[in-house]
Structure formats: C-alpha cells, structure tokens
Amino acid sequence: MGETKENTSAEIGNPYRISRIKKRDGRVVEFTKEKITNAVFNAAKAVGGHDRRQAEQLADKVATILEFKYDVGETPTVEEVQDVVETVLIKSGHAKTAKAYILYRYHQQKVRETKSVAIDCVNTIGDYLKQADWRVNENSNEAFSFSGLLLYTAGKVIANYALNEIYTPQIADAHKKGYFHIHDLNHGFIGYCAGWSLKNLLLWGFGGVMNKVDAKPSKHLGVVVHQMVNYIGCLQMEFAGAQAFSSVDTLLAPFVKADDLEYKNVKQEMQKLVFSLNIPSRWGSQYPFS
C-alpha cells in the first residue's frame, strides 16, 4: 500500500509556505492570495481607487509577511491575516484604503454578530427549558417559569446589544475572554439600584405617569401598604437592582396613630407588606427586589 502525504504549498499552486488558513468557525481551508487582492482592491475602489495591479502588489507584501511570521505547518487565522493587511495598507501609505478596509471589516463583524443572535434563538430557549445555562439560576428572586423564560430570552438580546453597542470593543472583548465580568448585562442601559422618597408617596400619592391610573394620597395604613407594594413592584422593572424606601417606621407612625391601631393590627399590616414584596408576580416575573 502506497503512502499518502499532505499536499505542499507548491503542489497546490501556492508559491508561499502558508498553504492553509483557519476560518472563524474553526474550519481550515486553502490559503489563496487572490482573496487578499480582491479585499484590498474592493477597499480601494470604495475610496476611488482603480489600480488592481497595485492591489496585487500589496497582497504580495501581505503573503510575504505571513511567510516570515509563521513556520511551515502553522496555520494563521482569518483575523490574523486581516490584521496584517491593515498593517501593510497603513505602512504603505494607503490610509484611505486602510480606513475603508477597517470599516468594512467592522461592518462584517456586526453582520456576523447579528446573525449569530438570530440563529441562537432555538438554543437560547432550549438552554432555559433544560436549565443548561448558569444564567437560568443567576437571579434568586426569579423562579423557573414562563415569565422567567421571557426575561431570560429578552435579557440575552439586551445583553448582546449592550456589550456590542454601548461598551467599547476593548471592554467587550475583555468580558468575552473572561478577564473581568460585567454584571447584569441584560439590564445594560438602565440604572442599577435606587432609593425613593416614601414621604413624597404619602404626600402626593402614586401617579404622574401619562395615560396611567393615578392614586391619591393614602389616608389609612392598609392603603399605604398597598401603594408601597405597587410602587416598588412597578419601579423594579425599570432598574436592575434593589428599590428602597427609608425611614419607613417613622413615616408610617402617624397612620398608626390616626387609625388608632393596636399592636396586632400593625403587625398584620407589616406582614402583608413583607409577604407582598416577596411573592413572584406577573408584573415583574420575579419577587420585587426591595
């Protein structure tokens, strides 16, 4: 039985030592200088260039640099080759072409990321239903439920948007590589925690939002408790973290006096407050974080 051997660069018509290139999906394919020429020429045409021969010469420079940079048998990635193309364009005095190439490269990256989000929807829902993703149990206030699934799937889209559209590429890359962790990316463009004035709620009531139901100031402790629960419950979905009132005992004391409540009645109202803030609800899909 005869021996088989891997084709060399020369045998496949490639005069350079680099014969293979690794694509982003991990596949290894044949390295062709013609693709570099086309990419450079397309970038040049975008800024008014028309000399394909010059694009071929620049592609030759790129291939030569790759030949010295990588040993025989080594396989550069697409990103590494594109980095060399950028360097050659800039150092060769083709700044406009380099800018066009960089912008095209960035645009293609955004297109890939957008496609990956769309394609990943089946896996996203599957990961939640199978509880295969650690994020399913990340929030102890959120139960495994359909409403939890809504938050989880929407959160993945928001996290992707925040990471790629709000943070700089350097920060996004560091997060993806695990150099540090950005907490609550699924709430990436809203506030974290907030403290609210219970005094204002008592004096002005619960309202002020256009086309929404208003409630006048409470006159009795039981109604105050309901307004506090509704207030925290509504605001919790507008922030990533906890919502808080301060001086609760001091500000509620006048209602105890006005209603002439006994200890057991006050205790009952406080139990209602605590219980209502710790039961999962359809309005926020989780226990209000308070």
On average, the pLDDT of the chain sits at: 84
What pLDDT, on a 0 to 100 scale, did the predictor assign at position 2? 41
What pLDDT, on a 0 to 100 scale, did the predictor assign at position 116? 64
- If one compares 214 and 8, the residue with the highest pLDDT of the two is 214
What pLDDT, on a 0 to 100 scale, did the predictor assign at position 16? 57
Please determine, for residue 286, whether its predicted confidence score (pLDDT) is greater than 80.
Answer: no
Q: How confident is the model at residue 285 (pLDDT cuts 50, 70, 90)?
A: low
Per-residue pLDDT of 179-226, as tens digits, reads 999 988 989 899 999 999 999 999 999 888 888 888 899 999 999 999
Q: In sequence order, what DSSP letters do the residues of the chain get, joined into one string?
A: -----PPPTGGGT--SS--EEE-TTS-EEE--HHHHHHHHHHHHHHTT---HHHHHHHHHHHHHHHHHHS-TT---BHHHHHHHHHHHHHHTT-HHHHHHHHHHHHHHHHHHHHHHHHHTHHHHHHHHHTT-SGGGGS-TTS-SSHHHHHHHHHHHHHHHHIIIIIS-HHHHHHHHTTSS--TTGGGTTS---EEE-HHHHHHH-B--STTS--BPPP-SHHHHHHHHHHHHHHHHTTSSS-EEESSHHHHHHHHHHHHT--HHHHHHHHHHHHHHTTS--TTTSS----
Please determine, for residue 106, whether its predicted confidence score (pLDDT) is greater than 80.
Answer: yes
The predicted model gives 162-171 an average pLDDT of: 89
Residues in CB range of 29: below 8 A, 6 or more apart = 20, 21, 23
What pLDDT, on a 0 to 100 scale, did the predictor assign at position 165? 86
What's the half-sphere exposure (Cβ side, CA atoms, 13 Å) at 134?
0
Per-residue pLDDT of 40-49, as tens digits, reads 999 999 999 8
% of residues, the chain, pLDDT over 90: 40
Residues in CB range of 252: below 8 A, 6 or more apart = 221, 224
Please determine, for residue 284, whether its predicted confidence score (pLDDT) is greater than 60.
Answer: no
Please determine, for residue 149, whether its predicted confidence score (pLDDT) is greater than 90.
Answer: no
Q: How confident is the model at residue 62 (pLDDT cuts 50, 70, 90)?
A: very high
Q: Any idea where the domains of the chain sit in the sequence? A: 10-107, 120-187, 194-276
- If one compares 260 and 109, the residue with the highest pLDDT of the two is 260
Q: Is there a contact between 21 and 77 (Cβ–Cβ < 8 Å)?
A: yes
Least confident of 26-30, 115-119, 163-167: 115-119
